[in-house]
Amino acid sequence: MSGYDYISAVTGCTTDVHGRFTLSGPGFQLLADGSIATGGPGRAPGPLDLLVSALVTNMLNVLRGGGDLDLDEVDTRAVQVRARATRYLPDRLKAGHLLVEVVIDELDALDTEVLLEQYRAGCRVLPAIETVLDVTIRPVAAADVAA
């Protein structure tokens, strides 16, 4: 094919392990499992794990300073993102709910929320995920995180 400017190119292949797959791109290779419900072994990330990981990676990159946000001292800022998905009953349109908690060292929850609003406004990954999961993103102050 010509005329395309690819921003991602991933190839997937089956492996000798039932329900396990390799995913490769120009600079990476990883293992993934099909969902346990469809026979995946449950030891490598499954489809939902990979979807949630895309959002977490994107958030870490942007909030650390890899995006276009106007942040001070981004090179020294430590960011932690915790994301947990719960499943809805089968008759719901969306698969479940994703709770994302964000801790940015040296920022309180109010300042973190300001950055999260900027993130929500410019994120390209979040709308895609919201087609299959209800998403709640909330700030957590570093002082409130249990050791």
What tens digit of pLDDT does each residue of 71-130 get?
555 456 799 999 999 999 888 889 999 999 999 988 888 989 999 999 999 898 999 999
- The amino acid present at 131, given as its one-letter code, is T
Domains with residue ranges and CATH for the chain: 1-45 (no CATH), 47-144 (3.30.300.20)
- Give the residue among 52, 114, 41 at the shortest CA–CA distance from 84: 52
DSSP letter assigned to residue 11: E
Which residues does 88 contact at the CB level (< 8 Å), separation at least 6? 94, 95, 96, 97
Instruction: Give pairs for 26-33: CB < 8 Å, separation 24+.
Output: none
Average pLDDT, the chain: 87
CA–CA dist 9, 29 (Å, integer): 12
pTM assigned to the model: 0.82
